Chains A and B, each alone.
Chain A
Amino acid sequence: MIPELGHFALAMALAFCIAQTALPLWGAQRRDARLMAAAVPLANAAMLSVLVAFICLATSYAVNDTSVVNVVQNSHSAKPMIYKITGTWGNHEGSMVLWVLVLTLCGAAVAGFGRDLPSVLQARVLGVLGAIAVGFLLFVLFTSNPFDRVWPPAPDGQGLNPLLQDFGLAVHPPLLYLGYVGTAVTFAFAVAALIEGRVDAAWGAWVRPWALASWGFLTCGIALGSWWAYYELGWGGYWFWDPVENSSLLPWLASTALLHSAVVVEKRGALKVWTVFLALMAFALSMMGTFLVRSGVLNSVHTFAADPARGVFILIMLGAFVGGAFALFAWRAPAMAPQGVFAPVSREGALVLNNLLLSCITAVVLVGTLYPLFLDLIAGRMISVGPPFFNMATAPLALPLIAAMALGPLMPWKRADLWPVMQRLWWVALVALAGFIIALVLTGQRALPALGFAAGLWLIFGAAADIIDRVRRAENPWARARALPRAAWGAAIAHAGMGVTALGVAGMALSTETLVALNPGQSTSFAGYEWRLDGVRDSPGPNFTARRADVSVLVDGAVVFTMTPAKRTFPIARTTTTEAAIRTNGMRDLYLVLGEEREGGAVLRIHHNPLAPWIWLGALTMALGAATSLSDRRVRVAAPSRRAVAAPA
């Protein structure tokens, strides 16, 4: 009964969303207040229906209802309860339901918080969001219905992809979806603005919090995904420039650019067309990522079970939304007159530079990701583009971006002089230079990691300089610091977070690794420790069997701690996963992987990863910056309505 209820709720949601698309858009065109007012209750109803469907699906998973095909394929009674629940979205169908749920939640949020929004704009935004939801609901109902029954019920499920049976990956997709769907909201705002043919400061003020929220979630999602790859794949790296990773990075880059250009629209009324373009682009890139990951055109280590038929459907949606939006853009944007004059050296100028560099990085990553696909298609040659390409092509663009990141916030709007800004940053430059020289000496003259350390210090102290500069002249600096706008704090925190990540990346560039074959009782020395293999044993888990190595780590002959890397075998899914053992003290990770067993002994791979945790710490800091900014009253909803009146049409 519960699956049927869920199926019915999805169908209801589809009906609500069709109404949510048609009525407000029509109403906004005719300026009919009653039709436009229908958008709010419809958005809420759609959200509730999808919520019911999602709860039904989660319940089917929780009780292991083996008459539901989706449960049979992806779950098993022996799975721990928490992973039964997370298994709801650990597969293609369920993840699409979660996607639609988040999308309708955003719709409800726009409906709920958007009372101050001009009613025509709100109606159009909700209409566009409704249209996107219609597309995804059709997709779920017609190509990936999670509520399909099987008769007779299977005796038990066939297990979840064991790689997905993991906390990091249970949380990673929902966060990423929150981010992706956030780009759908900014996309809806952009389309609404194009229909209206007008972009004003109120629009910028409305887009910014959504862009911020979406960016924060994307940051968390990408960081979690990278952390997962680090501890689960057992390769000792944190970012592989895998096409799937890239397809989540691309919307992040676009949305970082959007975040900054929306500020210019809000404060100065310039860069309007460009900002609209970025909003469209961020969503187009998220959709493209979804397409690449789900359709099976990519060859990657972490794709969902791929199905070209689904790909066709996503591509049609992609064509309808993105193609439609770009066509609208080509038609309407030329009429939006450029506005807002500023000198090249100014806050706006710095933000333009930021956008330019970010767009270039986005383009490079996009080309590197798609080129192998198109070459295979056109020339039939099989190639792959690996990390060396991306590192080489993006680093020279990232460095000036980082250099400008500390300068920009100190520049006044409209027109600035570089010299006074440099004067206020001289001590930061000194710290960075000192860091560079020290790192160069300590690492044996490896320039790139040293440059990374300098960049990290430049960003962190640059952010500090920004705050100090704002409070320095006040009588009571502490009170002034507390009274600073949260948005200023948010920007400083996010920039500092980027610096922390840069330090982590620089540290990881210095990581060392060794491979040894040890017999029980034998030991090897590496990274200042002695590593002794005590033995390899069987260690059964709830739904897997494992081979586990006991390794004692010694200093001066005394055991300091033990590490137990393992290999898990999942008999039901017939796969094996590697469980790296990781020991961190915040400044470095010791990372141990169990390889094949040889004549009673085992092959071990040991990594020493300096500053590895800082990569994710920095990402969390960035997300914290976004949250701080969002908590600013002026970023939130109250201001726009006031500004809407004041802003010139």
Chain B
Amino acid sequence: MTRRRRRLTVLLLCALGLGTATALTLTAFQDNLVFFQSPSDIAANPPPPARAFRLGGLVEEGSVTRDSTPEGRPRIGFRVTDGQSTVAVQYSGVLPDLFREGQGVVTLGQMGPDGVFLAREVLARHDENYMPPEVAEALRRTGHWNPASGAAPPPGGRPTAGGRS
């Protein structure tokens, strides 16, 4: 085998590898990109039924219900709103500890046949007392913190981890 042929083989192999990787990435992207949708987005453009996406908004006050699926799995129902539209959500799993009515929530799942969002994952967001980390830090540093005006700010600005089922 000549040097030229050898080089050609290696180049072909590389092209093949890179081509495969690109093709794989593109096909996987096509089916598995998870878009973020708000309830109004869904009202404006109902997503196809089998497509997973993330739904975010506020948990509507008084909308949380607890029951069981026909198979006996405990289930939680609530409505997610962004002020314009509302989407009903059902979730069978362990809720994150910071899940509260009136608070932000992000859920991952897909639309069911009856227009109910079936969530696989629920992540709770933000504390009610919104406090960016720089501000919390600045407060601690300057000693302006007055415990009488409320509990101490949560350390850091980390999102609150939630449960997946």
Chain A residues with CB under 8 Å of chain B are 69, 72-74, 148, 150, 152, 158-159, 161, 163, 233-237, 296, 299-307, 341, 343-344, 352-353, 356-357, 359-361, 363-364, 367-368, 371, 381-386, 388-390, 392-393, 396-397, 513-517, 567, 569, 572-576, 578, 593, 595-596, 598, 603, 605
| Beta-carbon contact of B163 and A578 below 8 Å | yes
Q: Which residue of B lies closest to A392 (CB)?
A: B28
A381-B133 Cα distance, complex, nearest whole Å: 25
A514-B94 Cα distance, complex, nearest whole Å: 11
What are 23 A-B pairs at a CB distance below 8 A? A74-B155, A236-B164, A305-B158, A306-B133, A352-B13, A356-B14, A360-B17, A363-B18, A364-B21, A381-B36, A383-B33, A383-B35, A386-B32, A389-B32, A392-B24, A393-B24, A397-B24, A516-B73, A573-B155, A578-B163, A595-B95, A596-B95, A598-B66
Contact of A605 with B165 at beta-carbon distance under 8 Å, contacts A305-B157, A360-B17, A593-B94 already known = yes
| Beta-carbon contact of A386 and B34 below 8 Å | yes
Residues of A within 8 A of B141 (CB): 69, 148, 150
A150-B154 Cα distance, complex, nearest whole Å: 19
Chain B nearest CB, measured from A361 CB (Å): 8
A253-B49 Cα distance, complex, nearest whole Å: 37
Extra 10 A-B pairs, beta carbons < 8 Å, given A161-B158, A305-B156: A73-B140, A296-B157, A306-B158, A360-B17, A364-B21, A389-B28, A393-B28, A396-B24, A573-B154, A575-B154
9 closest residue pairs by CB, A with B: A305-B156, A382-B36, A595-B94, A576-B97, A360-B21, A389-B32, A393-B28, A517-B74, A392-B28
Residues of A within 8 A of B157 (CB): 296, 305-306
Residues of B within 8 A of A367 (CB): 25
Residues of A within 8 A of B33 (CB): 383, 385, 389
| Beta-carbon contact of A72 and B140 below 8 Å | yes
Residues of A within 8 A of B98 (CB): 576
Q: Count contacts between A and B, CB distance < 8 Å.
A: 164
| Beta-carbon contact of A159 and B155 below 8 Å | yes
| Beta-carbon contact of B20 and A383 below 8 Å | no
Chain A nearest CB, measured from B162 CB (Å): 8
| Beta-carbon contact of A385 and B93 below 8 Å | no
Residues of A within 8 A of B143 (CB): 150, 152
Q: Which residue of A lies closest to B32 (CB)?
A: A389
| Beta-carbon contact of A515 and B154 below 8 Å | no
Is B31 an interface residue, CB under 8 A from the partner?
yes
Contact of A341 with B3 at beta-carbon distance under 8 Å, contacts A363-B21, A381-B35 already known = yes
Residues of A within 8 A of B1 (CB): 343
